[in-house]
Amino acid sequence: MIATEQNSDRQLQRLGAQRQLYSKGKTIFGWQVFVSGPIAVVSAFLVLAFPSLKGVAACWGVLVTLADLFWLTPWQKRVKDEAARVQEAFDCDVLDLPWNGLKAGKRPDAELIKEQSDQYERRPDKMPPVNNWYSPSVSDLPLYIGRIACQRSNCWWDSKQRRRYAVSVIALVFIVLLVVLSLSVGKGFTIEDFVLRIAAPLSPALLLGIRQFSEQMEAAARLDRLKDHSEQLWNDALSGRPEQEMTARSRNLQDEILENRRKSPLVFDRIFKRLRPSYELQMNFGVDELIAEAKQKLTLN
């Protein structure tokens, strides 16, 4: 069921739309990073060389912070919510779970999926294929058990990449801080000089980096809790709990996975593509281990 349904034309179209929407959100985030990061860092170094620019640089920092708060971040959240609902539609069909309108809202419009999927197909950059989203081997298990393995894979994968990304972000923040502090001390800046010439123009970059680290680590922690819960569901399913009960509990877990997708910050496509091959191998190995365990226990029972 899972292996066949996930590779149907309808579901592949949904996955293409989901990726396109997330890429759009990442493009918005990229602009946030650009104006808050490189431009802010360059302006800080320009103020070090040309002190007369300190007023302009400080105003730029304030404007960027306001634009991020009232325009770019809300826009990104709307796109991310659409992507999460498209992914939820895919998961509900593939994992044979009912749609929870109270939690997810209305199903994504078919026109939206068609529009975004077509845009994804026309993209010049090559993204990893969307077929076999879940390990096909889960179809060797009863559906109510195989879906739990898929849900666990979702949580493990996402948590792993977010922790690695968060560490890279905070390391970059510390490097920038050390560099500007060293240059400020070398030039004999006072506290006032440092605040006006360096801290104000650099604040959007530092705030963005710290916020990214904090949000990514919070998302990873939520995913770890969801993974632990999925493993409890797994053990309960193998112990012989009724299929109807396990399906209802999987639906509850899926609600939390959806909520986490809505809340979680984005990870750039370049990083996703770089990490995907090794993580996919690890994920599939983990699923194979679960399947072997399930077959053994189900045979004994």
- The residue ranges of every structural domain in the chain are 2-122+138-300
Label residue 300 exposed, middle or buried (CB < 10 Å: 0-12, 13-18, 19+). Answer: exposed
For residue 89, give the nearest of 145, 5, 3 by alpha carbon.
5
Tell me: the pLDDT tens digits for 173-201? 788 777 777 766 666 666 666 665 566 66
Tell me: the pLDDT tens digits for 113-167? 999 999 998 876 667 677 888 988 888 899 999 999 999 998 988 888 888 888 8
pTM (two decimals): 0.80
Tokens of 15: 């996955």
Label residue 107 exposed, middle or buried (CB < 10 Å: 0-12, 13-18, 19+). Answer: middle
Q: Cα angle vertex 216, ends 45, 165, to 5°?
A: 65
